[in-house]
Amino acid sequence: MLRRRELERRGRGYYVLATPADTAELWQARRSGHLRRAAAVAGLGRVLGLRTAALAWGLPVAEMPNRVGLIRPKGSRQLDGSLVVRRDLPRSQITFLNGVPVTTLARTAADLALRYPAPQALVTLDAALRRGVDRAEVHDMLTDGCPGVISARQTLDWADGHAESPLESRGRGEMVVRGVSPPLCNVSILSDGVEFRVDNWWDDLAVAAEADGEGKYGRRYRQIAPSQVLWQEKLRQDWLVERLDIPVLRYVDREVRFDADGLVERLQRKFNRRRVQPWDLPEGVEVFQRPFPGSGAPIRWLRGGPRASI
């Protein structure tokens, strides 16, 4: 973590989590460096795979890989400094990006589901579905007998193309592996002509959760003053909690990565409160989920609206 600049040394035996001035720019620099190393070792019989392939496709990953991920034929020799998976790939699961052989999007998603825990794999799987990957195609690649296939299929079932950020995906994953029912992602609440979106929504209890990542307050809103962004977010929070009586749990990256048990405990307190005080849909309020771009799905009406159904 020191080498990756995720930790800062403040004294002997004393470390703190680093806070880069611009995490997005640092991430892109590390991604570019990793892909340059990957292109140097890719070639005949060496197909970029796993998290390296995800980065080549422009998909997010839970952790930046330290080693280049390669898929090589069975019986091939280990390549020093690389993470090698030996598998005979059919041609249909190999493509080329900038002249470099890479596993297809579906194959990449399947491999990540097989290799990594659900919270980490969902960071990439959610983005792959949002990109247009066919869930059924990925499922067909998770064949019986593959190590980890049962958990991989469960991870795929939890994947949701409505998720819009790595923090949303990983946070949801940490919740569901601890027994929390999977929430809906990016649900809209319309009241008095004002539409708010929440990152996670448990419709049976009318409880919401919000992932507070850099994208919400940083580069995504760089044309707006930080004080204005925070003020808008406070107004939004007040509207949901005070006006509509919707409990909202907010979580950040450090809590998801280092205290997911505490996160779930806080969420359960929200659930318990709602079980004691059920939510009645206020007059004129509609709750629905818009389809993610390119999905072709209709609006899903949850509460209120012209076609309310779950």
pLDDT value, residue 229 = 56
pTM: 0.86
What CA–CA distance (Å, rounded) separates 273 from 260?
20
Query: What sign does the CA torsion over 107, 108, 114, 119 have?
Result: negative
pLDDT value, residue 212 = 84
What CA–CA distance (Å, rounded) separates 182 from 118?
13
pLDDT value, residue 307 = 53
Query: How buried is 170 (Cβ within 10 angstroms: 0-12 exposed, 13-18 middle, 19+ buried)?
Result: buried
Phi and psi at residue 38, to the nearest 5°:
-65, -45
Binned average pLDDT, 10 residues per bin, the chain of 310 residues = 74 73 74 93 91 97 93 80 87 95 97 96 97 96 88 97 95 98 96 89 96 57 53 68 89 92 97 93 93 88 70
| Long-range contacts at 76-83 (CB < 8 A, ≥ 24 apart) | 76/45, 79/41, 79/46, 82/41, 83/50
